[in-house]
Structure 1
Amino acid sequence: MKIKERIFHSWLIKTQPQIGNPGKYSKTITTLSNHLKKQNISSTDLFSIDSYSETENLKELYFANNELYEKNVRGNRMYSRAFDLYLEFLKDNYESESISDDIINTTNRKGITETERKNYVLSRIGQGFYRKQLIDYWKSCSVTAIKEVPLLIASHIKPWKKSNDFEKLDVYNGLLLTPNLDKVFDLGLISFDNEGKIIISEFLDDYVSFGIKKNMIVKIALEHKPYLEYHRKNILKTK
């Protein structure tokens, strides 16, 4: 299984106890991908898509096809149920970081000054005040000490959408990471304990290929700990 498929399978076990055979639904997502390819609707595997809206659109296109609609009816609506479960999975695990939606919500938000609005939007896209704060604080990658700052990403520990106004711009809620570390941290495939030692998810078997080592450590302050505790409890992927 691919990492995403294994995480989906684990999510089904944890959140859908009424399902007797979660592996059946994991395999069905691959079947749906094959149907979409065969009908020339999409050439992308569903497990490669993180976007809720893109997946929802593919679901609509799938069932607008008469042949695929009939397959679902004959299969006791197994395909529509699998689509719905995968969409719920994406919402739980990936959709919280929809940058465009967050920017739109911030732009339309009332009760904040234009300066605050600008700072929130710029920090959300990894620029401006928040990024500068993290660069001033860390001066290099928080984990590897790589100093190529233009290549580093300002990464929230507690996701932006789950953070209050203070947490969104709190320098202690951020790490400055290389792109590979940012991605696996954002997806909960790595985290850090209260001593700053790396925790590698059981789902990330080939972590060496991502430049990850078991002895990696980040020098954290006391103020980082509540955010890291949140990340371990709510973002880190465990079986």
Structure 2
Amino acid sequence: MSCIMFDVYADELKKLNVDRSSGRAKPHKVCLLFAVFDLIEDKQIRDNRILLNDELKLRFTHYFNKFRADGDRDNPYLPFFHLRSSSFWHHKLRSGVKYNHKYSVSEKSLNTYIEYVYLNEDLFALLKSEKQRNALRQCLSENFAELGDQFRRWAVEIGKSEKTAKNYVSALKTTMPNWMKSLGHDTGSIFELGSLAEFKSLEQKLRETSIFQERDFTGKRMYSAALKAYGDFLSDTTQVQLQEDIDYILKDETKTVTEKSVLVKARIGQGKYRQDLVDLWGKCALTGFENRDFLIASHIKPWRDSSEAEKLDKYNGLLLVANLDRAFDKGYISFSDSGEILISEELEEYTKLGISSSGNLHMHQESREYMLYHREMIFR
């Protein structure tokens, strides 16, 4: 595949025709393409046929919950239809439907007239390469013009107060870059660093400076907290840990193709592992919410720390709505042996996330060892 074709698609994905009528980039098209990238990576899309199925909708919702703002609706049908304005996204109409037939963005219309979507073959070939896929994923992220705004919303979503979130933004955008400039490093806003690797490199340099150490101490570690939060944000939105775990599975020569498929699906909360958790919990383990489209299957003891058996053990899993799943995954909440919710002091405005201090779940006996690990190693 020529570098020229990669550059063509990289440029188009950076400048995706997204809806900016509200004064900011709506996340729908980017989230749907992220979902497609994931399903190609997971080998659920193998032959350039993108179906409007439950797997695609679930992954869309996963990303949409990360990037949404007030007023945004979780509607995958919008981008599935409107991405046809891009040069690479094509609707394959069902047999008997004429190409000049008018069909709309509604779920009924799309299911009636569209058999599947296919991409340009050269783009699909690029997306089958992990290196190229990750590079194009980064290009997509550039549609969100101001990472600072995106980061502020993310910080509030995980329970930081508006005041704390704004302080973090100010520190990352102006204060700490000014310290670096005073030391002879011409550093712009930290939000210009969309790459986790670039950010980690700058973070290390910052932490080694005397001005950072002095100001961080007198500022009660606020600057350290801001750097950690932005690192978490980049890791969360670019799915770095997920990609590393999946890459490790796929490169394991001791595993059969079938075993790798099972492990990959368990890692992203899909396939048999998700069904096992649905059978075990039936609904959100904490709130009782039953619509499975909004429930995320995740591990109690993190994947990276689990043994082979623990990775597939249904008792090492929770089924939670998205906001609770994120809070649990990041260690802002945990649970006692009796199932009582534990809320970290770092989660400043947890009621805005729909979290109640009186929350309680039925703790399975077999899950207690996993939850003990979570309390001791993950809970903040």
TM-score of Structure 1 vs Structure 2, range by shorter chain: 0.5 to 0.7
Letter in 2 for 1:148: N
Question: Which residue is equivalent to 1:199?
Answer: 342
Cα RMSD of the aligned pairs, angstroms, is 3.9
For the residues of structure 2 that align with 1:156 and 1:34, how far apart are their CA atoms?
41
Distance 1:76 1:97, change over 3 A: closer
For the residues of structure 2 that align with 1:34 and 1:105, how far apart are their CA atoms?
39
Question: Which residue is equivalent to 2:191?
Answer: 44
Question: Which residue is equivalent to 1:177?
Answer: 320
| Alignment equivalent of 1:53, drawn from 179, 193, 197 | 197
For the residues of structure 2 that align with 1:102 and 1:136, how far apart are their CA atoms?
25
Question: Which residue is equivalent to 2:254?
Answer: 111
The offset of 1:113, in angstroms, is 2.0
Output the TM-score relative to the length of structure 2: 0.44
For the residues of structure 2 that align with 1:221 and 1:176, how far apart are their CA atoms?
13
The residue matched to 2:191 in structure 1 has which SS? coil
Question: Which residue is equivalent to 2:368?
Answer: 225
Distance 1:78 1:205, change over 3 A: same
The residue matched to 1:98 in structure 2 has which SS? helix
For the residues of structure 2 that align with 1:137 and 1:155, how far apart are their CA atoms?
13
Conserved in 1, the CA contact under 8 Å of 2:332 and 2:344? yes
Question: Which residue is equivalent to 1:164?
Answer: 307
Conserved in 1, the CA contact under 8 Å of 2:177 and 2:188? no
For the residues of structure 2 that align with 1:181 and 1:236, how far apart are their CA atoms?
14
The offset of 1:56, in angstroms, is 2.5
In structure 1, runs of 5+ residues without a counterpart are 7-26, 64-71
For the residues of structure 2 that align with 1:155 and 1:29, how far apart are their CA atoms?
31
Question: Which residue is equivalent to 1:20?
Answer: none
**Rg: which structure is higher?**
2
| Alignment equivalent of 1:187, drawn from 321, 325, 330 | 330
1:142-157 mapped onto 2 (5 Å cutoff)? 142-157=285-300
For the residues of structure 2 that align with 1:56 and 1:76, how far apart are their CA atoms?
15
The offset of 1:155, in angstroms, is 1.4
Deviations 1:96-124 (A, max 9, x none): 97000111110001212221110111111
For the residues of structure 2 that align with 1:106 and 1:141, how far apart are their CA atoms?
29
For the residues of structure 1 that align with 2:332 and 2:313, how far apart are their CA atoms?
23
| Alignment equivalent of 2:268, drawn from 101, 125, 130 | 125
Output the TM-score relative to the length of structure 1: 0.68
Deviations 1:24-44 (A, max 9, x none): xxx9767335679xx785563
Deviations 1:189-211 (A, max 9, x none): 10000000000111112110010
Question: Which residue is equivalent to 2:37?
Answer: none
Question: Which residue is equivalent to 1:210?
Answer: 353
Question: Which residue is equivalent to 1:134?
Answer: 277
Conserved in 2, the CA contact under 8 Å of 1:33 and 1:45? no
Conserved in 2, the CA contact under 8 Å of 1:97 and 1:160? no
Question: Which residue is equivalent to 2:163?
Answer: none
For the residues of structure 2 that align with 1:106 and 1:210, how far apart are their CA atoms?
34
1:64-83 mapped onto 2 (5 Å cutoff)? 78=211
Distance 1:29 1:77, change over 3 A: farther
Identity of aligned residues (%): 36
The residue matched to 1:44 in structure 2 has which SS? helix
| Alignment equivalent of 1:32, drawn from 164, 170, 176 | 176
Conserved in 2, the CA contact under 8 Å of 1:192 and 1:228? yes
The offset of 1:79, in angstroms, is 5.7
The residue matched to 2:318 in structure 1 has which SS? strand
For the residues of structure 1 that align with 2:358 and 2:316, how far apart are their CA atoms?
22
For the residues of structure 2 that align with 1:141 and 1:100, how far apart are their CA atoms?
26
Conserved in 1, the CA contact under 8 Å of 2:172 and 2:190? no
For the residues of structure 1 that align with 2:188 and 2:309, how far apart are their CA atoms?
44
The offset of 1:53, in angstroms, is 2.7
Letter in 1 for 2:259: E
